[in-house]
């Protein structure tokens, strides 16, 4: 079995990151689409006002085609990003709660990695103050095993 602790921590972290980054990515895509729209206006005005031969006309056509493909790609990605952005906006406390959850995970991982046995009766027991191999340690040692 893969590391449940490491995998679950990664999933929580990744999801928190998605929610945090979605508005930034959305804004970047929005600006890119606007840039494409302004480029189309420039290209079509060139076509309207300038005279050019077939070769230059073909270049303008290919420039317009490249622009439209870029715009379409960004709009399609934006549809997915918008879902995450809206989800994050509708669940504003969730990112904070996920980050708190990660802090709890990290606290337990740290605590377990520092855990040692304290003898109960015989203070000179040879097993005293030895480090436990925690489940986290075992999962890290066998990372990737199924």
What's the pLDDT at 87?
96
What's the pLDDT at 33?
98
CB contact at 8 A, 60 and 47? yes
CB contact at 8 A, 3 and 139? yes
What is the enclosing helix (H) or strand (E) of 143? Answer: none
Band (pLDDT 50/70/90 cuts) for residue 143 is low
| Residue bearing the bigger pLDDT, 90 or 134 | 90
Helix 54-90 vs helix 92-114: crossing angle, to nearest 10:
70
Residue 1 predicted with pLDDT over 50: no
CB contact at 8 A, 43 and 67? yes
| CA nearest to 71, candidates 27, 43, 37 | 37
* pTM beyond 0.75: no
CB count, 10 Å around CB of 19? 19
**Could you report the per-residue pLDDT of 68-121, keeping only the tens digit for each?**
999 999 999 999 999 999 999 999 899 899 999 999 999 988 888 788 777 777
**Could you report the per-residue pLDDT of 4-40, keeping only the tens digit for each?**
888 999 999 999 999 999 999 999 999 999 999 999 9
Going by the DSSP 8-state scheme, the letter that residue 66 receives in this structure is H
Return phi, psi of residue 2, to 5°: -65, 165
Separation of alpha carbons 113 and 136, rounded Å: 8
User: E strands of 57-142, at which residues?
Assistant: none
């Amino acid at each position: 079995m893969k590391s449940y602790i490491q995998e679950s921590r990664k999933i929580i972290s990744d999801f928190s990151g998605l929610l945090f980054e979605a508005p930034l990515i959305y804004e970047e895509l929005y600006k890119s689409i606007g840039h494409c729209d302004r480029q189309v206006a420039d290209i079509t005005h060139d076509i309207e006002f300038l005279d050019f031969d077939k070769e230059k006309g073909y270049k303008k056509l290919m420039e317009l085609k490249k622009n439209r493909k870029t715009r379409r790609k960004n709009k399609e990605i934006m549809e997915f990003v918008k879902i995450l952005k809206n989800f994050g906006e509708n669940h504003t406390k969730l990112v904070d709660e996920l980050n708190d959850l990660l802090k709890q995970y990290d606290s337990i991982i740290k605590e377990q990695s520092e855990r040692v046995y304290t003898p109960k009766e015989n203070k000179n027991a040879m097993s005293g103050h030895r480090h436990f191999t925690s489940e986290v340690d075992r999962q890290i040692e066998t990372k990737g095993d199924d």
